[in-house]
A = this chain, B = another copy of it.
Amino acid sequence: MEIRTDLAIENRELYKEKRKEEVPGVKVELEEGDDYTVTRVNILDPMGANNMGKPMGLYITIEVPKLKNSDQELRDNISKLLAKEIKGMGYNHKQTKTLIVGLGNWNVTPDALGPKVVDRVMVTRQFFIAYNKDEDETVANVSALSPGVMGLTGIETGEIIKGIVEKTKPDLIIAIDALASRKMERVSTTIQITDTGISPGSGVGNERIGLNKDYLGVPVLAIGVPTVVDAATMINDTMEMIISSMKDKAAVGGEFYSLLEDISKEEKYQLIKEVLEPYMPNVVVTPKEIDLIIDDLSIIIANGLNMALHHGIHLEDVNRYLR
């Protein structure tokens, strides 16, 4: 059964739903704030990686249920929290040269998060070159690029990035990408940060090269926000909720639903796929106002990055660097 998700916390959720236990090989830490929850999922060993279907490493998830209709204050707080979590991972320092990569297709709204963040981060590498400097009190050496997708360029994203890395020799790569969640409630309210980069084949396209330390030779942080739910996944999950809700309500007929639940477990997702597939290979479920949501999210993340990377940049300043 192929539930499509890019979020480590959902892989964990799926494991726990099925096995009714914490995932072996995985350490989980929770931190509750007023308006947010931070979950740090650490996949410790190959068994953990196997259970989770994801590479070993740290996956930090910031969930902010009210983010969609938030005021400026909450958004600023989430930018600060994001900056704190990025710095806390320990990959960037004053002299770190960072390359920010905006993944995804700018012509497809729910996929345009990465390019929009790149449009809004503060880029400084050209000044370090012009003034022949290695370090600065206020700003760090940052370059940024949106490579497009294979359908637009004919070139694998990984090849483009690898070529640029060899020429410009950054110490750290931060890749921004739009993700898929299994649950609508996480869409545009959740930010995942991981130090495992982006695995081959995890995206929607037919890219075969991963963006990770193995391939690129430097650490790769990946920051992602779910912007869509796969339609088949959503229908499956909603049916489960409905059947479970019907079972609870049905005092008498309870056994029907139990039976249905069991039978369907095996066949249901397959059936959904069969029913949907002919006419919707690429159908996604997304909030109607996704255009505006992507704009807002890209500002929150760009602000977070500007504060995380440039030690002299504080919240009062970040709006100056935004377009």
Binding site for B on A (CB under 8 A): 71-72, 107-111, 123-126, 130, 142-145, 147-148, 150-155, 159-160, 162-168, 184-185, 204, 206, 228, 231, 234-235, 238-239, 241-242, 245-246, 253, 256, 259-260, 263-264, 267-268, 271-272, 274-276, 278-280, 282-292, 295, 317, 319-320, 323
Q: A145-B147, A155-B168, A256-B256 are in contact. List 10 more A-B contacts (CB 8 A).
A: A71-B320, A107-B323, A125-B155, A126-B155, A155-B167, A163-B167, A184-B276, A235-B235, A260-B260, A286-B286
Cβ–Cβ contact B107 & A292, under 8 A:
yes
Question: Which of B110, B153, B242, B282 contacts A143 (CB under 8 A)?
Answer: B153
Cβ–Cβ contact A286 & B289, under 8 A:
no
Instruction: Give CA–CA (A112, B296) in the complex, Å.
Output: 20
Instruction: Give CA–CA (A155, B295) in the complex, Å.
Output: 25
Cβ–Cβ contact B126 & A242, under 8 A:
no
Cβ–Cβ contact B126 & A154, under 8 A:
yes
Residues of chain B within 8 A (CB-CB) of A280 are 184-185, 287
Cβ–Cβ contact A154 & B283, under 8 A:
no
Instruction: Give CA–CA (A276, B242) in the complex, Å.
Output: 10
Instruction: Give CA–CA (A155, B168) in the complex, Å.
Output: 8
Residues of chain B within 8 A (CB-CB) of A159 are 164, 167-168
Residues of chain B within 8 A (CB-CB) of A165 are 163
Known: A145-B148, A168-B159, A242-B272. A320 touches B72 (CB 8 A): yes
Q: In the complex, which of the residues A153, A245, A319 has the most CB atoms of chain B within 10 Å of its own CB atom?
A: A153
Cβ–Cβ contact B287 & A286, under 8 A:
no
Instruction: Give CA–CA (A320, B70) in the complex, Å.
Output: 9
Question: Which of B111, B184, B238, B278 contacts A288 (CB under 8 A)?
Answer: B111
User: What are 24 contact pairs spanning A and B, CB under 8 A?
Assistant: A72-B320, A107-B292, A111-B288, A125-B155, A142-B154, A143-B154, A144-B152, A144-B153, A145-B147, A155-B168, A160-B167, A163-B166, A164-B164, A184-B231, A228-B288, A231-B285, A241-B275, A242-B271, A246-B264, A246-B267, A256-B260, A260-B260, A282-B289, A283-B287
